[in-house]
Each structure stands twice: as structure tokens, then as C-alpha cells.
């Protein structure tokens, strides 16, 4: 026995509002409204649960509530990055440049010390002395 595939139907905000307004104006029940508009069962429950959810959204948030997405969890992730001021950005760029120059200087100094150490070791080996550790 195979299961029937269910497709989630996405209704427009205008359609949702018109259904809820018609239901409230004509004092229709959820089942009568579902039958009248041909609403089908969805994966979350029946059409009556859908209508109940739409009505709750309408009563709590008004017609504008249908314009926002209510499915899924709300994001609790990292806050969005705020753009930096021009002066702060320029200061950071200047500091970054100073650090690069300092890094280049230190790398050159390290290379110089390595070469000096190699020369000292070579001279000590020629003279037969034991190198210092």
C-alpha cells in the first residue's frame, strides 16, 4: 500500500484575508469555510487547523500578519554586521599597513640573525673551536 504524496499549498495573503473576512462576516464554521473554498488537508493538520491559525494571525496582527512568514523557527544566530564609520575604517587600514611594515622589518632582522649565526658557526669550525650552545 503506497502513501499518497502531499503537496503543501501556499496561499496568497490576499486569499487568506478574503477567506477569514468571509468566514467572520457570514459567521461560517471552520468546516463550512474549508468546504466552500476547497481547502485541503496539509501536512501539519486539517484545513480546520489551517483556518484556525489564519484567524488567530488575523486577530493578533491584523491583515499585515499575512504578509510575514510564520513557518519555521525564528533566527537566533549571529547579529548582522554593522558597517564601520569611514574614520574607523581608515584607522584600521593604516594600522594594518603599519603592522605589515613591522612584520617585514622583523622578518628581515630574523634573516640577518640567521646569516650571522651561520657565519659565526663557520668561523668557529674553521678555527677548531666548539660552537657555543
Sorted by where each begins, the domain ranges of the chain are 13-67, 86-133
Neighbours of 73 (CB within 10 A): 5
Q: Whose grid coordinates read 491559525?
A: 53
Strand partners, 45: 42
Residue that wins the pLDDT comparison between 8 and 119:
119
Q: Is residue 56 scored above 80 in pLDDT?
A: yes
The packing angle between helices 13-25 and 30-37, to 10°, is 130
The model scores a pTM over 0.75: no
Maximum pairwise Cα distance, the chain: 111
- Where helices occur in the chain by DSSP H, the ranges are 13-25, 30-37, 47-61, 86-127
Amino acid at each position: 500500500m503506497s502513501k499518497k504524496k502531499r503537496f503543501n499549498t501556499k496561499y496568497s495573503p490576499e486569499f487568506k484575508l478574503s477567506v477569514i473576512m468571509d468566514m467572520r462576516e457570514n459567521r461560517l464554521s471552520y468546516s463550512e469555510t474549508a468546504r466552500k473554498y476547497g481547502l485541503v488537508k496539509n501536512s501539519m493538520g486539517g484545513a480546520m487547523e489551517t483556518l484556525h491559525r489564519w484567524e488567530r494571525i488575523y486577530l493578533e496582527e491584523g491583515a499585515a500578519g499575512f504578509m510575514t512568514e510564520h513557518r519555521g523557527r525564528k533566527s537566533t544566530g549571529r547579529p548582522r554586521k554593522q558597517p564601520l564609520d569611514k574614520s574607523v575604517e581608515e584607522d584600521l587600514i593604516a594600522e594594518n599597513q603599519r603592522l605589515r611594515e613591522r612584520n617585514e622589518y622583523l622578518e628581515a632582522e630574523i634573516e640577518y640573525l640567521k646569516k650571522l649565526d651561520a657565519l659565526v658557526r663557520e668561523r668557529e669550525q674553521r678555527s677548531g673551536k666548539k660552537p657555543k650552545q
